Structure 1
Amino acid sequence: MGNTQLASVPEPKYWHLKTVLSEALDTEFAVGEVLPNERQLSARFGVARATLRQALEQLELEGRLQRRRGVGTTVAPPRLGVAVGTDHGQDRPGTDDDLWQPVDCVDAVPPAAVVRLLGSGSGETVHTVQRTRSADGRVIAAELLYVPAAAVPGLSAIEPLAGAARARAVLREFRRLGLEGQDRAVELGSAGAEDAKQLDRLPGAPVLVVTTRHFAEGRTAAVGVATYRADTCRLTFGESGAVQVTPQGPDRRAS
């Protein structure tokens, strides 16, 4: 890092410092490398520690840095590429893949926004399947898949089942449907208490929310609401229908 001075810039000092630090992360530091301490960085860039902390906090929020207890501030791995499309994909609920792992399933009344997408009654309970998605040994997404009982009429004898076993039973029956397609909407959100716990983030942390409607026989057969860690994932848009996570090698420098 050079001795860049930030005495007079038209933007806030911490924001300009964030840009300078980001460029240094791209060229001088490898993933996992520990940054110099605050005193050294403050002296090198000629800024107060408060300014430096603001810049570091912003880079952490953007997923460029990680603060590890007992280690310090390290360069974070590149974000995982999440491809979003509108066709059939391998990550379709019920397919035999390792992308999503079933965790639990309960019968519950879905949120009003999901009720509207399903076209069901406001007080009607649906099978609510909880799934998680992992990459590089960490959970990067949590999903609630809402499946109306009418979509899985062949489902029976699941009352004794609980947890992941119940979720797998619903997914197996859902797989029997001849799904005709799906559509997706993506928006920026903030992590609620349950999502934050699963994703190992603080409540209110930025997340990417992907809402998917699955169609069969001309109607909405299920709705999935997947919450991705915004600090570890980036969205890519293409013709593929699958939401595919492609981890990038740990030897890559931060992007």
Structure 2
Amino acid sequence: MGTTTGRTASRPGTSPAEPKYWQLRTALTDALDAEFSVGQVLPDERTLAARFGVARATLRQALDQLELEGRLQRRRGVGTTVAPPRVGVDVSPAGQTWPGAEDDPWTVTGLTAVGAPPAVARALDVPRGTPLSLVGRVLVAAGQPVAIERLYAPPGPRPAAGADEVLAALRDQPLEGQDRSVELGSADAEQSRGLDRLPGSPVLLVTTRYTAAGQVAAVSLATYRADTCRLTFALAGSAAAPVRVGHRP
């Protein structure tokens, strides 16, 4: 890991030169592949910056990029470690049913009565503040949480209904369809606690709307760790390999 990096100025009419942090990211990637194993802790920032001959600000940019790509993990009390391969998570509507189905890998963590926040109220076409059940769930892989979910649904059959009853009430309805959107975000304080990540860590935000009886019956806001998850989408009407979202094969 003793290679130094620099920036070559571009000449008129040529493509812009790579920024220094990107050159460093490439050098670090080569070093990770050649010298480090999964779970191994990297040297501290001062040592890395000195060995590569770069400013610590440039080093942090390169480390941020590698964390976004899933090559590195920053862990409280441990430091920066080499990440394991991403966990493949199927989020294709064709492969999904109502939350809480028999083969559902999610685990319920709690139930809260809430008023519909603005975005959820719009999705459900109900007034803001309408009473809803908020079911908290977590997805665990290799012994660590890789995703958390906030599932908004109508209250259960009884005022004191538990989370399982709320989910059962959803499953009693014929599921007509789902639509799902994915965007990149940064973990807020609540998400970072649930995922054991540092605030601001990259996450994948997946919003799912479940439709029954011609209307949206439930809304799921799921947050996946971008450093450990690879979301897959099955191609409709095709047995081909799923489309993969992520930087690592």
- Measured in 2, the distance between the counterparts of 1:126 and 1:70 equals 38
Provide the TM-score with structure 2 as the length reference. Answer: 0.79
Q: Work out whether residues 139 and 198 of structure 1, in 8 Å CA contact, stay in contact via their aligned partners in 2.
A: yes
Q: Work out whether residues 87 and 181 of structure 1, in 8 Å CA contact, stay in contact via their aligned partners in 2.
A: no
Q: 2:40 aligns with which of 30, 33, 36?
A: 33
Q: Work out whether residues 86 and 239 of structure 1, in 8 Å CA contact, stay in contact via their aligned partners in 2.
A: no
Q: 1:86 aligns with which of 86, 93, 114?
A: 93
Q: Work out whether residues 142 and 227 of structure 1, in 8 Å CA contact, stay in contact via their aligned partners in 2.
A: yes
Structure 2 spans left out of the alignment, 5+ residues:
10-16, 238-247
Query: Which structure exhibits the higher relative contact order, with contacts defined as CA atoms closer than 8 Å and separated by 6 or more residues?
Result: 1
- Partner of 1:250 in structure 2? none
- Measured in 2, the distance between the counterparts of 1:71 and 1:48 equals 23
Compute the RMSD of aligned alpha carbons: 2.8
- 1:233 maps to a residue whose letter is C
Q: Per-residue deviation at 1:121? A: 2.0
Structure 1 spans left out of the alignment, 5+ residues:
242-253
Q: Per-residue deviation at 1:16? A: 1.0
1:3 aligns with 2:9: no
SS of 2:94 mapped into structure 1: coil
Q: Per-residue deviation at 1:53? A: 4.1
1:128 aligns with 2:134: yes
- Measured in 2, the distance between the counterparts of 1:5 and 1:224 equals 45
- Measured in 1, the distance between the counterparts of 2:230 and 2:81 equals 20
SS of 1:179 mapped into structure 2: coil
- Partner of 1:239 in structure 2? 235
SS of 1:87 mapped into structure 2: helix
Percent identity between matched residues is 57
- Measured in 2, the distance between the counterparts of 1:197 and 1:95 equals 27
- Measured in 2, the distance between the counterparts of 1:71 and 1:199 equals 16
Q: 2:203 aligns with which of 198, 207, 230?
A: 207
- Partner of 2:22 in structure 1? 15
Describe the shift of the 1:65–1:179 C-alpha distance in structure 2 as closer, same or farther (beyond 3 A). Answer: same
Provide the TM-score with structure 1 as the length reference. Answer: 0.78
- 1:119 maps to a residue whose letter is D
Q: Per-residue deviation at 1:87? A: 2.3
- Partner of 1:112 in structure 2? 118
Q: 1:177 aligns with which of 173, 179, 194?
A: 173
Describe the shift of the 1:39–1:102 C-alpha distance in structure 2 as closer, same or farther (beyond 3 A). Answer: closer
Q: Per-residue deviation at 1:109? A: 1.2
